Structures are given as structure tokens and as C-alpha cells.
A and B are shown apart, each in its own frame.
Chain A
Amino acid sequence: MNSTLNVCIVDDDDIYQFTMVKTLRSLKLTDSIMVFSDGEEALDFMLDNLHNDKELPDVIFLDIDMPIMDGFQFMEEYVRIKPKLGKKITIYMVSSSVDPVDIDRAKKISEITDYIVKPITHDQLTGIIRELDSSGAL
């Protein structure tokens, strides 16, 4: 029972990208997966599809540590374009950092639903997708 959710992964780590895509596929959670290597690439895509709800992601797994535009910089830009977006997007911050400075900072941003420490487990991933799916169905 594959979800129709558009899942978006923003991370510069090739291996992480690979494992996330493989996990989502193997758990048959969704077929619609987008991958960007840094915040700027993801932001450019969203600006190009501001009103294209079909293409815009439902959920974004956002890494912090990335070149060009890191996770926090992406959030600053996202807050700015959010009113223009026609779609509600859920954002999880996913990072290998257990640095409390990073965690606190993420928690203070209301647009971020939760902070998840890498590696993300299969159960966590399944739970997130299921919940979003059901709420979306309502």
C-alpha cells in the first residue's frame, strides 16, 4: 500500500541519499522521492513550482551540514516563501549532530516538526509516513 506522498531528501551525503531511497523503497512507503544535494538546489526547485502542488513535496528530510546552503539557511529562505506556497509541507531536520546547540536551534524553528538524529530507523520512517498519510486522508 504505497503512499502517494512526495518525499524529499536534502543531503549532500551520497551514501545517506542511497540508504534513504533504498529504505523508503524497500519499505514500500512511497514511490515519489526527490533528492537534492544542498539547500539551494531544493529551494530552487520549490521556487520553480510554487503553485504546482503535485510536484511540491509533502515531507522534507533536511540535513544541517551541507555546502552552499545548509539546513538552517534553507529554513530561513523557506520561512520567506512559505506564505506563497499553496501546500502544507512537513519538515524534519535529520542530522548526525548530537550537539545540543544544533538541536536547540532546530527546536526553536516552528516550521520544523521534529529533529531526528541519524541514522533514522525503519520504524521512525514508517511512523512518520503513516501519520502524514492518514492526516492527509482526513
Chain B
Amino acid sequence: MHKNDLKLSGEYNKIFIEQAPTAIAMLDRDMRYIAVSQRWISDYKMEGKEIIGRSHYDIFPEIGEDWKINHQKCLNGAIDICEEAPFKRADGTIQWIYWDVRPWYISEDKIGGLLMHTGDITIQKEKERERARMIEILDKTNEVARIGTWEVNLIKNEVYWSKMVCEIHEVPDDYKPSLESAINFYKQGESRDTIQRVMQEIMATGEPFDIEVEIVTAKGASIWVRAIGNGEFVDGKCVGLFGVFQDINERKLSEHALSKANAELRAIFNSKTVAIITTNDKGIINSFNYGAENLLGYSASEIIGKKAPGIYTVKEEVEKFMLDMSLKYGQDPRHFDPLKELAEKNEFDVREWTYIKKDGTRLTVQVTLSAIKNEEGELIGFLNVASDITERKQAEVELLRKNQLLNFAERLTMIGNWQWNTITNDVIWSSNLYEIFNVEENTRLTYDTYFSFVHPEDKDMVTDHVQYSLKEKKFPDLLHRIKLMDGTVKNIQLLAEIITNDAGEVIELVGTCQDVTEQRMAEIKFRGLLESAPDAMVIVNEAGKIHMINKQAEKLFGYSAKELAGEPVEILIPEDYKGKHSEHRSDFFANPKTRDMGEGKDLYGINRKGELIPIQISLSPLKTEEGVLVSAAIRDITSQKLAERRILKAKEELEIFSKKLVSKNAKLADFTHITSHNLRAPVSNLNSLLGFYKLAESEEERVDLFEKFETVINHLTLTLNTLVEALNIKKDNTEETLEDIEFNSVMVKTQEILSGEIMGTGAEIKSDFTNFPQIAYNKIYLESIFLNLVGNALKYRSADRVPKIFVSSGIENGKKFLKVSDNGQGINLKRHGHKLFGLNKVFHRHPDAKGIGLFLTKMQVEAHGGSISAESEVDVGTTFKINFN
């Protein structure tokens, strides 16, 4: 090229560069500026500065060595292009620039310097960064707001869900839904109907949708979502859908909760039981709700506009409130507005107040007092919310009273109650329990507190019991001893209930503890008494179950006390007696009093071996805490029974013996009588006569006396003969003298002997022996009996009647008899009965009456073991009856 041309072209280049709309600088090989564009000056803020001819590095001292190396590379032919790089300026600002640095050639292979084309992209860069930030924020927001996007390509029938949509559906990120499966997530019913309707609509008309519906996630959770959809149309045909999808469950729920809370608040405000009264900041009532009207009996119109307090409050309480509040806030009560203070401190006061109703009655209310502020935070009034707690108050009082009663009852019954939290090992005792254990109240308690009092000998048992209880989750009644600090030993009984959580784990034990020392002592005493009783004792309850037995009862029945406890008492009763026993038992409990059992009856028990034991039972009621029990004292009367039997036998033998003795005595008495009267009398006569005989003065007198002697001696002889005969009767009574005799033949013989008298008197004698014709008897006696009885009947006949005699034999009630009846004079048996059969007894002034016949008859009858009796009526007749043995 031409030099001038070069120069000119250099000038042109300078002009071109100077006027270029972008930042361009032309530098020589020493990096000195040849030309710069206006833009360069404005971009690098070099207005007014002389830069042409100055070194680039002088202008930009901040340029580092790395750039300088790059510039040298470019001066050797390299091209350095950078799309963006921060350029830290000397003043500390960062300028984002792009550049294009390349050499310019003087000739084909001669480099004249560098051309720098830069751009300030700081603004673009910042905008770009802002956009990225915005996108990031949006993403974050989407995440936080749980918003995702979705698309449907209707041509390919493909559905795309964003990560969040997948998450909301609780499916994996790579889940590939179809249109149908996507719709199936919508809850059946209203939600699914809605989504199907809007989808059809959007595809038909392009109408976008925005719905709030419920879906059921893959994991089965039911949640609220918001789905927004738009259609994509090509040539009026829907080719795709896209939209956003948001999880609005929480919002929905809180919306529901809020609406519920609103409704509740509304309900509270309108409720009958909560009084809401508001005042302005001057204390003038400006609202008085239905509850307040109901509570206080004033209507809203009556009260609005009045100043509170003072209408329905008690003066003293208001003063007390003022005082309390001033104390609380450390203010002088005289110049102190507690409400203002509450407002300032943003606090509220809750306390019980007594309100006075319009009708003057008082009620207890719980009041919450708070300030009302406007949006600017200025006090505009006060809110007073009151609820009637009269009933609660009464219930509290009642509870308190009941608690006192319980305490009282616990003291009386020496019962305490306790709770043991097995998780925290905290133990709570009722105050009486402290007393039972003699422990200072308010002592901190754990299980070990209790356990430390357990009697050393009972510790193992208690530990076993508690372990068992915790394992089996039931607490059988526990009776054990405790030893107090002062050494006192008490017996306590624990009852408890085990409380478990939902998982069935034991969390707490609650129960009672009773000091049963006295009962225990009483029981021991009772036991002692029971054991010392000489009889077997069986104690039975009303249901007939054996309660306890003593050692004697164990011995008697062969069971141990343990075996019988709880068994029905019928186990001790033989089968034959069981039937009526329960009935008898009911009777006893209906009228419990001490009595002997089965009076007059022989009672038996049955032992373990099934042996019957004769027993005697005495029952007594036993009033106990468990109700009326019956104590049965049982005595084994086996030996008595045997003794009784022996005595009975001995008695029978004695009776027989005594009968024999009586009969012997009677006979002896007969002979005493005979000796006294029948033998002594004639002997005494003989003596008297002998006396006279000796004194007789004449032979005539002696002859006369001698005749008397003869009479006496004859009489004596007869008596002696009779006696001898009687004695012979007794002696003759042996088996050998018995023979079978027909009554009829004896009757015939008797009539033959008495034929003279029969003919003389014209007597009618009849007989009938058909029922009992013959008997084994001593023949001579039977003939004598017949002769005496028939003879007597003839001898003592009535003077006014022809004698009629009837002799008969028969069997009556198994006894054989012989009867002789007559119609004679009869005997006054009332007067003479006792001596009818005596020797020499006569009852008639009959010349032949000697009193021998019936005496001998009786002897003969008795000798055969029979008896003779008579029935008679004076002047009617007599019947003699012989009962044979």
C-alpha cells in the first residue's frame, strides 16, 4: 500500500473508530492509544481525559499481569475473545465486559498494534442475574407453596407431571401417568365429576379451569388440591393442555378450621352462657350480648350507655381488684387505672367475680378482662367475657366436701388411697395414708418409701406380688405387715387397679391401703377361740359355702381346712339328708337364732372316707362384716350313741327284772297279808280262849270254850290247807304238767259237779268255744278255774232272777281269753275291787263265802303267766275275764 494511502487510511480508521457506536480502541505495538470511540470514553468514564498517545496500562492501572500476557499473545498474532468477564475497576466497582482483542496488520505479516472491541454488559448481566434469582425464588416458592406444573399432549396422548405434582400425588418422580390414571386420582364423587366436566369443557370450548377438589394420593391420603388448566389450540383444535397444580390441603384445612372457629366464636357470642360486655375507653357500655342479658337479667337496651362497673358488680370486689392490680404493678392505688395498665402491658385479668342480677340474686362468674385496641394500637375500649360458674363452683364446693368426707371415712376405716406412676415412680398418698405409715405429710414419695416400711419378713412376698402384678396386669388383694419407724408393726391390706396405656403397658397403679391390724387381731383371736372350742366348728355363709373350720372339724371329717374352704357344706352331709338342707339353711338365715339342728332327729355327717358319723349340731348366727354367717358346733356322738344303746338295753332288762320283782313283791305282800290276818287272828283267838279256859270255873263253861277251840282250829286248818295248795300251784307250774285241753270237756265236767245247784236253781248255762276251742294248760287248774267261776256265778245269784251263765273263749287283739258272765248280785268293785282276789275276802253275807275260790283262781291263772279281771255292776251281773299268756 501507499504511504499516503496508508496515512489516509489510518486517518479514516481513526475517524471510523472514533465514531463507531461501540467501544473500540486502537493501540500501537506499545499499547499506546491511537484512537478510541466515543462509546469507549463513555463506557470507561474517561470524558475529558487526554488518552491518545497514552499507554493503555497507564489509563487502566488495575489491569493485571494475566491480561497483559494475553495482550502480548495478541501482538504476536492471537485473537482473544471473551464473552463476559468481570473487570474489577480501580475504584472497586465491578464492570462486566465482553471483549474482542485482535492485532491489526500494517502489512500482511507486520502487526501494527491491537484493536480492542469491548462492551459493557454490566446492566444485562445484572438483569440476567436478577432473572435467575427470580426463577430461583419462583422455584422455591413453588416448592414452598407446593405448586407444580403439568402438561398433556393430546396428539401423543402423553402426560407430563413436574416433580412437585408427583410429590403431591405421592408417587415417585419418574412416575408416568396417563390421562385416565391421572383423573383416577381425583376422589370419587364430586371431585372426580368436577375434573371430568372441566376437562371435557376445555377440550371442547377452550374454557380454562381453576378448581379446588380432593384427590386420593397413591398412599391413600385424602388431600385438597387446586388445579388450573389452559388449552393449547392449533387450527381451532385442542392439541394439548397445560396448567398448574397446587397442594392446598393445609389452607383448606385451616380454612375449615377458621370457619369452624368463626362459627364457634359466633356461637359463643350468641350463646346463652357466655356474657360478653364491651365498653369504650371511658368505661361506657357499648355492647351487651344475649349471654349477658341471660346471665344478668338486664336487657341490652337497659344497660347500653351506662357506665361500668357498678351496676352488676360488688363494690368490695371492685376495690379488691383495684388493690390487687396496683400491688401487682407496684403502683399507688389512689392514682391508678388498672384497665389502662392492662391495655398498656397487653395483658388480661382472669378472676372470679360475684355478679348481681337484676332481681338481686348473686352468681359466681369467671371474668376475663382485656383491652380492645384499634389497628393503630390505640385503646378504644375494654372487653369483659364472663361465664356463669355457679354450678362449677357448687360442684367444686361439693367436691371439696366429698373429699373431706372421704378423708373422714378414710380416717374412720383406717383406709388410705394411693397412686403409683410406674413410669416416673412418683407416688401419691392420701393424707390418711401418711398417718397409717406415720410419715410426715408432704414427704416426697416413691415406691421405695413404701417398700422401706414393708416388714423384713414380708419383703420377698411383696416383691413377688408386685412383680406378678406388673407382669399379669392384675393385682390380687395383698395382706402384709409393715414396720413403722418407731417399731410398731401393722397389718395392712392393699387393693389395687392396674392402669395401662393403649399399648397395654402398665403406666399406673391406683388403690387403697387399709390398716387391718385390729381386724387381724380380732381374726386371730377369733381363730384362737375357734381352735380352742371342744367341738368341731364349721362356719358357713349364706350361700352355703364353707368359710372356715377348726382343727377338730378337720379331724372329724378328715379334710384339711384348705380343702373345704369355699366348698358347699353339703359335702359333709350324707346323700339322704342333703335334699332339704338348703331349704333349712334359708329358713335359718331368714330367722337367725341359736338353736339345735334337726331337733328330735338323728343326724349324721359324712367324712372323707364316706363313713357316716352320728352327730349333734348346734347352730348360731355370727354377724360379721361379710354378712351373717352360721357357726355350726358339731359333736361326734358315736360314743354317746353306743352308751345310749347300752343304757336302753340295760333299762329294758331292768324293767323286765323290776316287773318280776314287782310281781314277787305282790306275792310277798299277799303272804304278809295272809300271815297278818289269816294266821295271826286265829292264833290270837286261841290265846284268848286259852286264857278263859284256864280261868273257867265250871265244867260247862269249859265244854263251851272247847267248842270254840274246835271252830278256831278248823278254820286255821282250812287256811293252812289253802296256803299249802297255793304254794303247790307255784311249785307245779312246769312244762310237763301242760296238756292240750278242750274247753268244752272241762265245761261238761264242771256242769256235772255242779248239777245239784244247777237243778236246784234252774240256772241256764250256755257256752261257746268255737273261736278258741282248746288250750295247753294244767288240767287240774283249768277244772278248778271253771268250777270256781261257774260256782261263784251260781252261789251269788240274784234272788230275783233265774241265773243265766255264759261261758265263752276267744281271741281278741291276738290275746286268748276265757269269759264267764252271769246275771247275779254283782260286786261293788269301787269298794271291793282291791281285795276281790284276796285270801278269805268275802263280799257277801253268804253263809258259804270263805274268800278262798277267787284267791286260788288268781294263783292258778298267774302261775301260767295269765291275768284275771272282773267287770261288775251291783244287781246286774258280773263278768270274769281270764287273759291267757
Q: Do A and B bind each other?
A: yes
Partner among A18, A22, A70, A96 whose Cβ is within 8 Å of the Cβ of B681: A96
Residue of B at shortest CB range from A102? Answer: B676
- What residues on A are CB-neighbors of B831 within 8 Å? 69, 73
Alpha-carbon distance A68/B827, docked complex (angstroms): 10
Contact with B along A20-52 (1 / 0, CB 8 A): 001100100000000000100000000000000
Q: Which of A9-17, A106-114, A130-138 contacts B (4 or more CB under 8 A)?
A: A9-17
Q: How far is the CA of A38 from the CA of B680 in the complex (A)?
A: 19
Complexed CA–CA distance, A102 and B831 (Å) = 17
When distances are taken between beta carbons in the complex, the residues of chain B under 8 Å from A95 are 676-677
Decide: B844 and A118 in contact? CB cutoff 8 A: no
Say yes or no: B685 contacts A97, CB within 8 Å.
no
Q: Which of B672, B849, B851 has the most CB of A within 10 A?
A: B672
| B-side contacts of A19, CB under 8 Å | 685, 688-689, 692
- Residues of A within 8 Å of B683, CB to CB, are 96
| Residue B841 interfacial (CB < 8 Å) | yes
Chain A residues with CB under 8 Å of B672's CB are: 99
Among the listed A13, A26, A68, A99, which residue makes an inter-chain contact with B676, where contact means beta carbons less than 8 Å apart? A99
Contact of B680 among A14, A67, A97 (CB under 8 A): A97
* Inter-chain contact A97/B684, CB cutoff 8 Å: no
Q: Using Cβ atoms and an 8 Å threshold, which residues of chain A touch B335?
A: none
The chain A residue with its CB closest to the CB of B708 is A15
Query: Quick one: which of A51-68 are within 8 Å of B by CB?
Result: 64-65, 67-68
Are B708 and A99 closer than 8 Å at their CB atoms?
Answer: no
A127 lies within 8 A of chain B by Cβ: no
Known: A16-B685, A19-B692, A73-B831. Contact between A65 and B677, CB under 8 A?
yes
Give the distance in Å from the alpha carbon of A99 to the alpha carbon of B676 in the complex.
7
A99 to B683, CA, bound (A): 16
Q: Are A13's CB and B685's CB within 8 A?
A: yes
**Residue B673, interface by CB 8 Å:** yes
User: How many residues of A are in contact with the other chain, CB < 8 A?
Assistant: 26
Docked Cα-Cα span, A73 to B831, in Å, equals 8
Contact A65 B681 (CB under 8 A): yes
Cβ–Cβ contact B712 & A15, under 8 A: yes
Interchain CB contact (< 8 A) of A98 among B676, B712, B842: B676
* CB-nearest residue of chain B to A70: B835
Residues of chain B within 8 A (CB-CB) of A118 are 680-681, 684
Contact check, B689 vs A67: say whether CB atoms are below 8 A apart.
Answer: no
Query: Among the listed B692, B840, B843, B844, which residue makes an inter-chain contact with A22, where contact means beta carbons less than 8 Å apart?
Result: B692
CA distance A102 to B708 in the complex (A): 28
Residue pairs across A and B with CB atoms within 8 Å: the count is 67
| Contacts of B676-720 to chain A: CB distance below 8 A | 676-677, 680-685, 687-689, 692, 695, 708, 711-712
CA of A101 to CA of B841 in the docked complex: distance in angstroms? 18
The CA-CA distance from A52 to B777 in the complex, in Å, is 59
Interface string of B643-672 (1 = CB under 8 A from A): 000000000000000000000000001001
Given the known interface contacts A14-B711, A15-B712, the answer about A96 and B689 at a Cβ–Cβ threshold of 8 Å is no
B interface residues, how many (CB within 8 angstroms): 29
Q: Report B-chain residues with C-beta under 8 Å of the C-beta of A67.
A: 841-845, 849, 851
Q: Which residues of A sit under 8 angstroms from B712, Cβ to Cβ? A: 15
Which residue of B682, B685, B844 contacts A68 across the interface (Cβ within 8 Å)?
A: B844
- A86 contacts the other chain (CB 8 A): no
With A15-B712, A67-B849, A69-B831: A98-B689 Cβ-Cβ less than 8 Å: no
- Write the nearest CB–CB distance from B684 to chain A, whole angstroms: 4
- Main secondary structure, interface of B, reads helix
Q: How far, in angstroms, from A96 to B680 measured CA to CA in the complex?
A: 6
**Are the CB atoms of A13 and B692 closer together than 8 Å?**
no
Report B-chain residues with C-beta under 8 Å of the C-beta of A99.
672-673, 676
Is A119 touching B684 in the complex (CB atoms < 8 A)?
yes
Q: Is the CB of A96 within 8 A of B711?
A: no
Name the one of A15, A26, A101 contacting B685, with C-beta atoms under 8 angstroms.
Answer: A15
B681, A68: Cβ atoms closer than 8 Å: no
**Within the assembled complex, what's the spacing in Å between the Cα atoms of A118 and B835?**
22
Give min CB distance, A74 to chain B, whole Å: 11
Q: Tell me the smallest distance from the CB of B45 to a CB of chain A, in Å.
A: 180
B695 to chain A, nearest CB (A): 8
Q: What per-residue 1/0 map shows which CB atoms of B79-92 lie under 8 Å from chain A?
A: 00000000000000
- A74-108 at interface with B (beta carbon < 8 Å): 95-99, 101-102
B577 to chain A, nearest CB (A): 55
Pair B681/A13 contact, Cβ less than 8 Å: yes
Nearest B residue to A37 by beta-carbon distance?
B845
Measured between beta carbons, the chain B residues less than 8 angstroms from A22 are 692
Q: Determine the residue in chain B with the shortest Cβ distance to A15.
A: B685
Once the chains bind, are A16 and B688 in contact (CB under 8 Å)?
yes
Residues of A within 8 A of B844 (CB): 67-68
B879 to A: closest C-beta gap in Å:
22
Looking at the complex, which one of A38, A69, A96 makes contact with B677 (CB distance below 8 Å)? Answer: A96
Residues of B within 8 A of A16 (CB): 681, 684-685, 688
- Max chain B C-beta neighbours (<10 A), residue from A16, A67, A99: A67
Q: How far is the CA of A4 from the CA of B279 in the complex (A)?
A: 152
Q: Given A13-B685, A19-B689, verify A97-B676 contact (CB < 8 Å).
A: yes
Complex Cα gap A101–B840 (Å): 19
Tell me the bound Cα distance from A64 to B840 in angstroms.
13
Alpha-carbon separation in the docked complex, A16 to B711 (Å): 12
Q: How far is the CB of B317 from chain A (nearest CB, A)?
A: 111
CA separation between A76 and B681, bound complex, in Å?
A: 24
A118 vs B711: C-alpha distance in the bound complex, in angstroms?
18
Within 8 A of A (CB), among B805-846: 831, 835, 840-845
* B688 / chain A contacts, CB cutoff of 8 Å: 15-16, 19, 23, 119
How far apart are the CA atoms of A95 and B682 in the complex, in Å? Answer: 12
CB distance from B339 to the nearest CB of A (A): 126
State the CA gap A95–B849 with chains docked (Å): 21
Q: Which residues of A contact B680 (CB under 8 A)?
A: 96-98, 118
Q: What mask results when residues 561 to 605 of chain B are scored 1 for a CB within 8 Å of chain A, else 0? A: 000000000000000000000000000000000000000000000
CA of A96 to CA of B678, assembled, Å: 9
Chain B residues lying within 8 Å of A38, measured Cβ to Cβ, are 845
Q: CB-CB < 8 A to A14: which residues of B?
A: 711
A15 and B711 CA atoms in complex are apart in Å by 8
Which chain B positions have C-beta within 8 A of A13?
Answer: 681, 685
**Cα–Cα distance between A70 and B835 once the two chains are bound (Å):** 10
Residues of B within 8 A of A119 (CB): 684-685, 687-688
What separation, in Å, do the CA atoms of A23 and B684 have in the docked complex? 14
A69–B843 CA distance with the chains assembled, in angstroms: 8
User: Interface digits, B232-274 against A, CB 8 Å rule (1 contact, 0 not)?
Assistant: 0000000000000000000000000000000000000000000
Contacts of A101 in B (CB 8 A): 669
How far does the alpha carbon of A96 sit from the alpha carbon of B673 in the complex, in Å?
A: 10
By the criterion CB–CB under 8 Å, are B708 and A18 in contact? yes
Q: In chain B, what residue has the closest Cβ to A14? A: B711
Given contacts A13-B685, A16-B685, A19-B685, contact A68 B845 (CB under 8 A): yes
Smallest beta-carbon distance A88→chain B, Å: 27
CA distance A97 to B838 in the complex (A): 15
Which residue of the partner chain A has the closest CB to B715? A15
CA distance A20 to B109 in the complex (A): 226
| Chain B residue contacts of A70, Cβ below 8 A | 835
CB closest chain-B residue, reference A20 = B688
Do B843 and A97 touch (CB < 8 A)?
no
**Cβ contacts under 8 Å, A64 to chain B:** 677
Can you list 15 A-B pairs, Cβ within 8 angstroms, ordered by A?
A14-B711, A15-B689, A16-B681, A16-B688, A38-B845, A65-B677, A65-B840, A73-B831, A96-B680, A97-B673, A98-B680, A99-B673, A99-B676, A119-B685, A119-B688
- Residue ranges of A at the interface with B (Cβ–Cβ < 8 Å): 13-16, 18-19, 22-23, 26, 38, 64-65, 67-70, 73, 95-99, 101-102, 118-119
Query: A16-B685, A67-B849, A119-B684 known; 18 other A-B pairs, CB under 8 Å?
Result: A13-B681, A13-B685, A15-B682, A15-B688, A15-B708, A16-B688, A18-B708, A38-B845, A65-B840, A67-B851, A73-B831, A96-B681, A97-B673, A97-B677, A97-B680, A99-B673, A118-B684, A119-B685
Which 3 pairs between the two chains have the least Cβ-Cβ distance? A97-B676, A19-B688, A67-B842
